[in-house]
């Protein structure tokens, strides 16, 4: 099984597990998360770029993967993604580089399975 599918499957399975718990705060955070990234004063593409770069400076590999997946669906090209991540690396420092390596590996994986 490829890495993209593996990531998505685990993510879906555990999200379901969490939502089954019927915790109202978790449910509403998930719901809010869906709404926050829809078109508004800023469009979806801009918001996903915010999601990607915020995840990268906060060094959350799984969050980066999730937003890379969304950016891929929204047809960002590789140059744009690399540039966005280079700005994040400058802001977040060389401490971000190991996460940048994993991010570009996942981005290439996404493009391989088109």
Residues that bind a copy of itself (CB under 8 A): 10-11, 14-15, 17-18, 21, 23-26, 28-29, 32-33, 35-37, 40-42, 46-47, 49-51, 53-55, 57-63, 77-80, 82-84, 86-98, 100-102, 104-105, 108
3-state SS class at 91:
helix
DSSP 7-54: HHHHHHHHHHHHHHTT-HHHHHHHHHHHHHTSSSSS-HHHHHHHHHHH
C-beta of 20: minimal distance to a copy of itself in Å? 10
We find the least distance from the C-beta atom of residue 32 to a copy of itself, in angstroms, to be 5
Give the nearest distance from C-beta 1 to a copy of itself in angstroms: 18
Task: State in angstroms the smallest separation of the CB of 96 from a copy of itself.
Answer: 7
Query: Could you tell me which residues come within 8 angstroms of residue 70 by beta carbon, excluding any fewer than 6 positions away?
Result: 37, 48, 51
Place of tokens 């996903």: 48
């Amino acid at each position: 099984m490829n890495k993209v599918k593996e990531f998505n499957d685990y993510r879906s399975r555990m999200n379901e597990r969490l939502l089954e718990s019927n915790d109202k705060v978790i449910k509403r955070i998930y719901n809010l998360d869906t709404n926050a990234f829809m078109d508004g004063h800023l469009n979806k593409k801009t918001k996903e770029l915010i999601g990607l770069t915020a995840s990268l400076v906060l060094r959350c590999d799984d969050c980066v993967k999730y937003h890379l997946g969304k950016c891929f669906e929204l047809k960002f090209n590789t140059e744009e993604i690399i540039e966005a991540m280079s700005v994040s690396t400058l802001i977040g420092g060389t401490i971000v580089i190991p996460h940048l390596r994993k991010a570009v590996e996942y981005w290439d994986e996404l493009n391989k399975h088109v």
